[in-house]
Chains A and B, each alone.
Chain A
């Protein structure tokens, strides 16, 4: 949503870049030779882990976007309790109809939700919950122009 809050600046942005993969496009497979990837969210499940490894392998500049990617943030609040209690809470305690932990479709949780950079190398960090549209626009345009964005005066953890 914060990304879309760039509003008409998105048009200027996509004059310089092609959107090749996102939850908003039809492509199902992450393409090869991507210049910049913005990654949201903590690495929480086995599916996340496989995805981020593919993304890293096919991306030149990997950007950790937002507190969940940078610090694991709210998804990490489950970490002190262990996955069993999370599954119990989500699929057993609060479920009236056919309670039980799913063994298909839902990807298995990793023991801990981790920040992206604990799993693969990250090139740029954009903290914020969420980073504002201004921050995202600045970061992306700097990267498109071949510069490393200096973000610490613009955003912070929890911003």
Chain B
């Protein structure tokens, strides 16, 4: 195949864009500095389309498509912002707040939280759905890290970074639907895990205060993500 044939051309928000066939709509939007909201997607990790915030409209389809897992097609016409999308995105983020017990004011990640920031960005001043108030556990058995299920949005970034980057696969998801929980090993206390290397990557990629370092007080937990693009770049070049 010639290079010219390998290039796909499409329109995003009316702008002409070109892309490699293996790229997703989100990849191309990012290259063209078009912002699409997302929570589960993180550059350097595989994409799972879990949070649905990156839904976009594609001409000819009456379904909304998650841009992080939808590959580009020749002649595609994509819309990333509309009243309909805005409504769904707001609903999704509001439902994330109702699903667990997110109390921003006393959270270690207050001021550094992607969920909190996203709510503000989407103009959410209150949650229109009833809160569920589930009983959720805090596992502080690990020497250096804590998992607080009250603040987990099940984005699975931690599961993916542990498996794909660290290669330990200590973390996984147990249960189904609203009962889903992030677990360590076979649902045992984190501190007793034999597979956890203690690398802390899960903590750094977590968008909220669900995975944090021990000993952090309110608003003290800032995540450091620089390692991820670095590792991805280095590994890519040497493969």
A77 touches B101 (CB 8 A): yes
Known A-B contacts A71-B126, A74-B103, A80-B101; A156 and B119 likewise in contact (beta carbons under 8 Å)? yes
A156 touches B116 (CB 8 A): yes
Is A41 in contact with chain B by the CB < 8 A criterion? no
B104 touches A64 (CB 8 A): no
Is B82 in contact with chain A by the CB < 8 A criterion? no
Known A-B contacts A156-B116, A156-B120; A70 and B126 likewise in contact (beta carbons under 8 Å)? yes
Further contacts, 9 of them, CB under 8 A, given A71-B97, A77-B101, A80-B135:
A72-B131, A74-B106, A80-B136, A126-B125, A151-B125, A157-B102, A157-B116, A158-B110, A158-B113
Most buried by B among A81, A153, A156: A156
Interface residues of B in 116-150 (CB under 8 A from A): 116-117, 119-120, 123-128, 130-131, 133-136
Known A-B contacts A122-B126, A152-B120, A156-B116; A129 and B135 likewise in contact (beta carbons under 8 Å)? no
Residues 115-126 of A, flagged 1 when their CB comes within 8 A of B and 0 if not, give 101100010011
Residues of A contacting B123 with CB < 8 Å?
152
Q: How many angstroms from the CA of A117 to the CA of B94 in the assembled complex?
A: 14
Chain B nearest CB, measured from A67 CB (Å):
6
Is B54 in contact with chain A by the CB < 8 A criterion? no
Residues of B contacting A70 with CB < 8 Å?
125-126
A67 touches B125 (CB 8 A): no
Interface residues of A in 68-95 (CB under 8 A from B): 70-74, 76-77, 79-81
Known A-B contacts A112-B133, A157-B116, A157-B119; A67 and B104 likewise in contact (beta carbons under 8 Å)? yes
Contact count A vs B, C-beta below 8 Å: 73
Is B111 in contact with chain A by the CB < 8 A criterion? yes
Q: How many angstroms from the CA of A151 to the CA of B125 in the assembled complex?
A: 8
Is B87 in contact with chain A by the CB < 8 A criterion? no
Interface of B, secondary structure class, is loop
Residues of A contacting B119 with CB < 8 Å?
156-157
Residue ranges of A at the interface with B (Cβ–Cβ < 8 Å): 64, 67, 70-74, 76-77, 79-81, 112, 115, 117-118, 122, 125-127, 129, 151-153, 156-158
Residues of A contacting B131 with CB < 8 Å?
71-72, 76, 79, 115
Q: How many angstroms from the CA of A117 to the CA of B124 in the assembled complex?
A: 14
B126 touches A117 (CB 8 A): yes
B101 touches A74 (CB 8 A): no
Q: How many residues of B sit at the interface, in one of the four size bands? A: 20 to 34
Residues 23-52 of B, flagged 1 when their CB comes within 8 A of A and 0 if not, give 000000000000000000000000000000
Chain A nearest CB, measured from B110 CB (Å):
5
Identify the closest chain B residue to A64 (Cβ).
B126
A127 touches B133 (CB 8 A): no
Most buried by A among B97, B107, B130, B133: B133
Q: How many angstroms from the CA of A127 to the CA of B116 in the assembled complex?
A: 12
Chain B nearest CB, measured from A77 CB (Å):
6
Q: How many angstroms from the CA of A156 to the CA of B105 in the assembled complex?
A: 10
A127 touches B126 (CB 8 A): yes
Q: How many angstroms from the CA of A129 to the CA of B105 in the assembled complex?
A: 6
CB < 8 Å: which of A71, A74, A129, A151 contacts B127? A71
Q: How many angstroms from the CA of A80 to the CA of B96 in the assembled complex?
A: 17
